[in-house]
Amino acid sequence: MLVSSSTPHDILIQLAQHTGLFALLALVFSQIIHASRLHRSRWRPVFLGGTFGAFAILCMTIPVTLGGGMIVDGRIVMTALSGMFGGPVAAVIAGVAAAAYRTWLGGPTAAAACAVILISTLAGIAVWWLADRLGRRARFGDLVLLAGLVVIPGQVPVLMLPSPEMAWTFLTLAALPLALSTAGGIVVLGALLLIELRRLVEEDKLRLLAAHATDIISRTDQAGRHLYVSPACREILGFDAEELVGGSIDSMVHPDDLPSVRAVMASLTPQAPRQIFTCRAKRKDGGHVWVEVTLRLVPATSSDTLWNGPAEIVSVARDISKRKAVEAQLAAAKTQAEAASRAKSGFLANMSHELRTPLNAIIGFAELIRTETMGPVGNRTYCDYAKDIHDSGHHLLSLINDVLDLSKIEADRLVLDEETVDLNAVVATCIRMSRTQATRGGVTLEARVDPEAAVVRGEQRRLVQVLLNLVSNAIKYTKPGGSVRIATRMRPDGCLDLSVSDTGCGIDERDLAAVMQPFGQIDNPYNRISQGTGLGLPLARRLVEMHDGRLALESKVGVGTTATVTLPAVRVIEPVA
């Protein structure tokens, strides 16, 4: 192509037009690579070298003529990029093709032109070698380095021109425009190819992850048609991915689960783009498998979508059949355990009733003999025996009553007979009933009540039972000379505390949880000399919980124990002024 003006400005404009043409060719080239997947092939260097060589020849078919047989074009851009992106093999192929065509064109500047091609090819190989030596991919900085290596040494072959006049003409007219267009072409075209190749590499990584993932990854449009399904569907469902693409998601879901699945998909919105559900998916053999599906609404990725709205649903389905089987086994075991617990509670309740009836007779007749109601007993030893029978019967009856109450609570058969309860009366009753035990054990029993903490809503008999169990335990585990204190207190939040404190042996912190369990006892000297089954504290805790309260223990070995019953504010009745 001839030019009417030989000014540097005109030359630069024409070379810049060539760069624009090469950018278009580079985009076409990237599409060819994308379509053929040659960026992953072992023939990639050969393909790159041949293509860049063809582009270099194309550049020489539309040169900028300076006169005297001198022409300039963008061939060195192509040969330099071939080495950087394709390595030595691609550089050699592109360089040989470009040099052969330039030699075929002939002219006095053919030798200098081939020298420039050689310099650009070596520069591309050098940049490729540097990136490979550093163990990384090509970067944008490598393009800048390549442009410098090509432009600066590329001026040296001007010395090979036939005459000084031609050299001067080249330096004054074409050197600067050619340097600018070459550097710009390398950076612009190289950046376009670099971005495209990086995108293809990242796409390959994602495809590799999807292909080897154990979960089924799929893309679905909002109509429910599969656009992509990962190969894991064959292992989980028995279908090949090609069999599912284009099909409807409805055909893969168990009919009983289909309404809920449709409801979940319909609930996906840009404000709530993520949903998780479980359903049964159809297998190729006709069976079904439980899957956990995570859905996410994503912006459109199709090339024919002109807006960035929510157009597709990405889902990840995981096989949870084993987990469902374990859950079913656990549910069956839980049902069986609950049935066994109910049977145990029912058995204990029935047995307690059966034992309590003869015990009442034993206690009654022992009382008649001990008090000699029907006349004097001939031998006083029999009266002592009758007293022992009476006391043992009472103790056994109290144990049976505890077992009966705990069984009723566990079987949900114990109902509170709620009323207005005066805590002062409850405390007084417990002190009266526990006085004999405290006197026998040499323990001081005292009470300190808050006048404002006097009236609550609950069942008086059960509250007496709770307090009596706590006081009895405190006296049992307190040495002679110790003390047990009952106190009531209103808390700032409106709740009420009823506490029993002793100066007994105390409980180790690691044993606090054990003593709150049914039949839970700790090993200490007091257990060996005191009677009990370990039902007092657990029964008291359950009765307190039925009053919507809680029972807490604070203890320190050798110092004592404080048991605090806290009743909520809703059960406290404020005193009338």
Assess if residue 502 is contained within a domain. yes
Per-residue pLDDT tens digits for 174-212: 778 778 888 888 888 888 788 877 777 777 777 777 777
- At residue 225's C-alpha, the angle toward residues 220 and 228, to 5°, is 50
70 and 139 in a single domain? The answer is yes
35 and 53 in a single domain? The answer is yes
Tokens of residue 273, six digits: 């783009």
Distances (CA, A) of 78 to 57, 120, 364: 9, 9, 117
Assess if residue 310 is contained within a domain. yes
158 and 14 in a single domain? The answer is yes
Pairing state between β 483-490 and 444-448: parallel
478 and 344 in a single domain? The answer is no
CB 110 within 8 A of CB 75: no
- With CA atoms as reference, report the closest residue to 444 among 484, 404, 471: 484
437 and 406 in a single domain? The answer is no
243 and 344 in a single domain? The answer is no
Assess if residue 1 is contained within a domain. no
Last residue within a domain, chosen from 410, 443, 473: 410
pTM, full prediction: 0.47
Q: How far apart are CA 443 and CA 417, in angstroms?
A: 34
Query: What is the pLDDT tens value at each position of the chain, 577 positions in all?
Result: 333 345 766 666 666 666 666 666 666 666 666 655 555 567 778 888 888 888 888 888 877 777 666 777 778 888 888 888 888 998 899 889 989 988 888 878 888 888 888 998 999 999 999 988 888 878 888 888 888 888 888 778 877 877 788 778 777 777 787 788 888 888 888 887 888 777 777 777 777 777 777 888 888 887 788 888 888 888 888 888 888 888 888 888 888 888 888 888 888 887 888 888 888 888 888 888 888 888 888 876 544 444 455 568 888 888 888 888 888 889 888 888 887 777 776 666 666 666 666 767 677 767 777 777 666 766 667 677 777 676 667 667 666 676 666 666 666 667 788 899 998 888 988 888 888 888 888 999 999 888 887 889 998 888 888 888 889 888 988 889 999 999 999 988 889 999 999 998 888 887 777 777 765 555 555 443 445 555 678 888 888 888 899 999 898 888 899 999 999 999 988 765 4
CB 195 within 8 A of CB 26: no
Assess if residue 47 is contained within a domain. yes
67 and 172 in a single domain? The answer is yes
Q: Reduce the DSSP state of residue 257 to 3 states and report it.
A: coil
277 and 396 in a single domain? The answer is no
135 and 27 in a single domain? The answer is yes
The total domain count for the chain is: 4
The span from the first CA to the last CA of the chain, in angstroms, equals 113
Predicted confidence at residue 67, as pLDDT, reads: 67
CA dihedral angle for residue 508, residue 513, residue 519, residue 524, rounded to 10 degrees: 0
206 and 257 in a single domain? The answer is no
Rounded to an integer, what is the distance from CA 443 to the centroid of its chain? Answer: 58
Tokens of residue 260, six digits: 């809920």
Predicted confidence at residue 4, as pLDDT, reads: 36
Assess if residue 2 is contained within a domain. no
Assess if residue 3 is contained within a domain. no
Last residue within a domain, chosen from 210, 243, 267: 210
Assess if residue 257 is contained within a domain. yes
Predicted confidence at residue 122, as pLDDT, reads: 92
Predicted confidence at residue 522, as pLDDT, reads: 58
CATH code assigned at 425: 3.30.565.10
Predicted confidence at residue 485, as pLDDT, reads: 93
CB 150 within 8 A of CB 182: yes
Last residue within a domain, chosen from 319, 348, 372: 319
Handedness of CA 84, 86, 91, 95 (dihedral sign): negative
Assess if residue 494 is contained within a domain. yes
CATH code assigned at 308: 3.30.450.20
Predicted confidence at residue 2, as pLDDT, reads: 33
92 and 202 in a single domain? The answer is yes
Predicted confidence at residue 443, as pLDDT, reads: 92
| Structural domain boundaries enclosing 351 | 326-410
Predicted confidence at residue 150, as pLDDT, reads: 87
CATH code assigned at 200: 1.10.1760.20
CATH code assigned at 368: 1.10.287.130
440 and 470 in a single domain? The answer is yes
Handedness of CA 539, 543, 545, 549 (dihedral sign): negative
Predicted confidence at residue 269, as pLDDT, reads: 81
Q: How far apart are CA 241 and CA 388, in angstroms?
A: 85
